[in-house]
Chains A and B, each alone.
Chain A
């Protein structure tokens, strides 16, 4: 809490070899992860990848069978929910419908044991300050049903912050909002995080959201951690074919590697493996990594222009090449379009500028 006396040092979370299964389905499979004090961490993955289970396990809402979770070194799995002091924001907010905004935010303070409970005046002061922090002053007496989705989201956040949590956990915080409100709230959440300095974890299935907002991103798949890294790491050096495909915006090619290298769209790139790998390989090329070469040079692979989408800072061109059913998307500079070189049905040459190639094991 800003200004609430000395700010407590943010908490570090260690997840060690966590396991949880529902019947034969492993929701979490030997997950280990360190959340640095004060960082904003995204758990990214498709539904069923275990990201929400992991978040709920950290909160103490889901019991796990194996492994431990430590808050600043202290084993949290033995603590009660109250002792964990976790601020949890639910996807559907879980606001108490029969209580006003004020009562919702004050709830966590009012249910404290008598000797720890602040006086009524103090509670009122804190609730007002929290509502200012989430930019909802003056709505104390409204009921949740009288608020918009974005406002409910903020009330849920204020309510979670009221208990002065050790960590803030958000489950799909923007999942239930429309696109415009999402963008606004995203920026605002980033600012709020800077202001509170709390160790914060949020779950999302939207890669853009995760990469834009988080300090670090954890990509999950089938109950396992697939890759952990800063957004730049993840974007520039996706560790696995899965990460490449999940981030999207790539064309996938099946190819053959020889002595640690593979040819793709007229260029040769190294395979991401130790030693000289030879054998089948998967190559991923992003749209902006494909270059359209002028006909005179005649380098690369012949292709035919099938569609042109000339909006945005770059022009997206859909191309087809021989021996491939799916079209390939290329993002090219606007000048090429205004120069009139991109006619539908026109034959061109394309070339990959860079690519990531993984051995198929």
Chain B
């Protein structure tokens, strides 16, 4: 640690030792797992040169795939925020037969191989499938369209919202609702003005997680999407296609754009969270 003593102001000695060791391990681990691979993406795509990179990035097929990936992930995360909240509410607030079974089933999308889910959805929603055959006469096509992608992503993302909201709702102080009621608020006013604001932080976190998962999802989507270029071809699939063409530069260009957009969106969500915390006087 002589280097540390000379180069850096030494942090005040803590009663709880181990900062140096744990920080070192953390940084090593993060570097190996996250930072170095991500840097690789940028270095490879930097080798393209700016003009070439821009040509690949503004390619109509790439743009369509990116729009589709981020668009469907946002819609699915939004749907999950609404219905995940509902599921969490029912699971926390009411007791009914089969509740524990339902609670356990929420985690299925975590455990199920995504390809299995994709196959199941395709079988269900294909024009001759169980559900698809009822929807087809209504002019509603789910499988092999962006709508199908949203369905798959809703499935994949649901547990993220439920599992982040559930513990916060379970810990929610019932007295706050009682206080609101004695002050004359209707049930609707109590939920909207007292309960929902308290659930905003976990809801945002759940939304962000579901969204991030949705952007990166591959296995379940490629089965139901149909993968028609410009229509239902997602960005991760485009990366795979470029790789199969041995077009490594093209693949990393798409990857780099995805990284930047994902990072920007997650950053915005984190800013929102921090703003929300500061707003209620819980700085830091």
Contacts and interface: CB of A to CB of B under 8 A. Distances in A.
A98 B179 contact: no
Contact of B175 (A90, A108, A111, A162): A90
Interface in A67-110: 81-82, 84-88, 90, 92, 94, 96-99, 107-108
A218 B216 CA distance: 65
Contacts of B280: 97-99, 143, 145
Given A94-B173, A111-B189, A59 B183 contact: no
Interface string B259-284: 00000000000000000000111100
A96 B176 contact: yes
B184 interface: yes
A111 B182 CA distance: 11
Contacts of A92: 173, 175
B194 interface: yes
B173 A108 contact: no
Nearest to A103: B193
A87 B181 CA distance: 11
A145 B280 CA distance: 8
Contacts of B198: 97-98
A118 to B, nearest CB: 13
Nearest to A59: B182
A144 B176 CA distance: 13
B186 interface: yes
Nearest to B173: A94
Nearest to B174: A94
A140 to B, nearest CB: 13
Contacts of A143: 280-282
Given A98-B198, A142-B281, A90 B183 contact: no
B281 A146 contact: yes
Contacts of B185: 82, 107-108, 111
A163 B175 contact: no
Given A82-B184, A107-B185, A108-B184, A145 B176 contact: no
B197 interface: yes
A108 B173 CA distance: 19
Nearest to A82: B184
A159 interface: yes
Contacts, number: 71
A249 to B, nearest CB: 34
Contact of A111 (B176, B178, B193): B193
A165 to B, nearest CB: 9
Contacts of A60: 182
For the residues of B in contact with A, the DSSP-based class is: helix
Contacts of B281: 142-146
Nearest to A81: B181
A86 B282 contact: no
A334 interface: no
B227 interface: no
Nearest to A108: B183
A94 B175 contact: yes
Given A97-B280, A143-B280, A145-B281, A111 B179 contact: no
Contacts of B194: 96
A61 interface: yes
Interface in B60-107: none
A295 interface: no
Interface string B164-178: 000000000101101
Given A142-B281, A143-B280, A146-B281, A94 B184 contact: no
Contact of A112 (B173, B181, B184, B197): B184
Contacts of A90: 175, 178-179
B133 interface: no
Given A97-B280, A142-B281, A143-B280, A61 B186 contact: no
B145 interface: no
B44 interface: no
Contacts of B189: 111
Interface string B197-208: 110000000000
A61 B183 contact: no
Contacts of B176: 94, 96
A112 B198 CA distance: 22
Nearest to A156: B179
B183 A163 contact: yes
A84 B194 CA distance: 21
A163 B184 contact: yes
Contacts of A146: 281
Interface of A: 59-61, 81-82, 84-88, 90, 92, 94, 96-99, 107-108, 111-112, 142-146, 159-160, 162-163
7 contacts: A92-B173, A94-B176, A96-B194, A108-B185, A111-B186, A163-B183, A163-B184
Q: Which 3 A-B pairs have the closest CB atoms?
A: A143-B281, A108-B183, A94-B175
